[in-house]
Structure formats: C-alpha cells, structure tokens
Amino acid sequence: MDILKCQQSIVSVLGWFANPIHGDGSYPEVMKKKLFSILPLFSEAEKNEVRGTADFFAFSFGPNNFKPYNTMAKMGQNVSLNLRDVLNWIKLEYGNPRILITENGWFTDSHVKTEDTTAIYMMKNFLNQVLQAIKFDEIRVFGYTAWSLLDGFEWQDAYTTRRGLFYVDFNSKQKERKPKSSAHYYKQIIQENGFTLKESTPDVQGQFPCDFSWGVTESVLKAFSSCSEQGLLFVVVCGLLIAVASLVVEHGL
C-alpha cells in the first residue's frame, strides 16, 4: 500500500473541508502545494475566524464514498470500507474531536422490496467498527445517524437504488411505505443500545455508551417558520439531521 497516496487521497476528499475548521484554519499543505495556482489562500484574519468554529466533527460515510469514477482513479485513490480506520485518521489528524456519524448506510437495487439483507449486513459491519473505535481506540464518537428514513431520489443513481429503512412504492398513488428488515434491525440495535448477546461474536459484541445518540436522516426539504422582532422568519432545512428514532421503528409514519 502506498501510504503517501492514501494520505493525499483522504486529505483531498476529507481534509479539504475539515482542515480549515478542525485544523490550522487553512487548506491542507498537500493541496496548497499541488494546487497553488488555483487554490485560494486564507488570510490570517480568515483563519482565525474559521478555525475551531465547530462544536463537533460531523462525518458522512456511505456508498458514494466507494464508487470511484475515472477522475478518482487517475488521482491514485484507493477504495476502503473500513470506517474504523477513517475514524482513527480523524482522531490523529485533528486531536480526537467529538464525532457524530451524520450519514451512514448502504443501498439495494430498485427491485428489492423489504428483505434488504445486504443493507443489514453492511449496517452491522459499520456499527461494529464504530463500537470498536469507541472501546478500543478511545475515539469520541457520540452518535450515529442512519441514511435514510425513506427510499427516495438519489443524486447519482436517481431511482435505480434504494437506501431507505422504509420501502416506498413509487408506482402507487399513495406512495405506500413499509418497514424493511433493516428498519426492524435498527430498532433492535436502538433498544439494546448495541448488539444482543444472541448476536454477539468475538468481533461483534457489547453495547454503546449510555449517552450514545441514535437517529436517522431524511432527504427532503422541510420548511419551518418562526416569529422574531423583525417579523416572520422562514427557514428551509435540507436533510433534517436527526429525526425521532421512533419514526424509524414504527410500522408507518
């Protein structure tokens, strides 16, 4: 494995956005050297304004990370499903910040309805890696958010893939929704706050910290309004971050 290329790859994808906020207030040195002619520079005032402005590290880790296009291959990037390794990189690079997994999950083909066994397998694998990172690596992950509540339009794949915990029949007039096997599995994980003894193996075992947070994301636009001294304020939120966990596990919405 080319360690230098791996470092350059993750810096170019993750460090590009994280380093100004969680690092020294500027873009990573690797990027500044390779892209010096087109990459804008932060002034000292801008560095001080941006640096350290996040309460926690919000991290998205999903299938879009593992579909390298030709442009990515030319950059020498490698594809890995090891969430624990990436969490360790964040810890070492940015001083072990508090981390919230804001988006994680897998996909199934559009013809799959409620028996999404592949999604369950991948969820179990990812959650196991998060648990190991917390227990053995002392990484401060404080919450996990599954993507997503419902099947919907995926930017790169349209309706050819499904990523929801609930199956949506797009051909029906009412767009009927049914909980998938992954919804029932996620319900069990939340209720047990981890893996049950029945399910435990040497690699998959134990519970998450008592104050660990569980949630689910949704990919719809939600409009909220509130009154202020200046009048009525309208706020549009794209992708509501944390939905009530019961929405995931109830038989319906």
- Position 204 confidence tier, pLDDT thresholds 50, 70, 90: low
Q: What is the pLDDT of residue 70?
A: 43
Token output for 154: 């995926």
Q: How many CA atoms lie within 13 A of 210 on its CB side?
A: 0
3-state secondary structure of 66: helix
Token output for 143: 């919450």
- Give pLDDT tens digits for 144-194: 999 999 999 877 788 888 999 999 999 999 999 999 999 999 999 999 999
Query: Does CATH place domain 61-249 in 1.10.260.40?
Result: no
pLDDT at residue 226 is higher than 60: no
Token output for 171: 């051909």
**Closest to 80 measured CA to CA, from 97, 108, 61, 93:** 61
Higher-confidence residue: 141 or 107?
141
In degrees, rounded to 5, the angle at the alpha carbon of residue 208 between the alpha carbons of residues 204 and 214 is 110
- Give pLDDT tens digits for 10-36: 898 899 999 999 999 999 999 999 898
Let me know: does 110 contact 161? Beta carbons within 8 Å.
yes
Q: What are phi and psi of 100, to 5 degrees?
A: -115, 120
In Å, what is the CA distance from 212 to each residue of 57, 189, 193, 207? 15, 12, 8, 10
Which residues, 6+ apart, have CB-to-CB distance to 5 below 8 Å? 76, 77, 78
Token output for 45: 């005032």
- What does pTM read for this prediction? 0.81
Q: How many CA atoms lie within 13 A of 9 on its CB side?
A: 20
Let me know: does 90 contact 57? Beta carbons within 8 Å.
yes
Work out the end-to-end distance of the chain between its first and last CA atoms, rounded to an integer number of angstroms: 47
d(CA 194, CA 134): 12
Lowest mean pLDDT among 110-114, 161-165, 249-253: 249-253
**238 DSSP β-pair partners:** 221
Taken in order 54, 57, 63, 68, is the CA torsion positive or negative?
Answer: positive
List where CATH 3.20.20.80 sits in the chain: 61-249
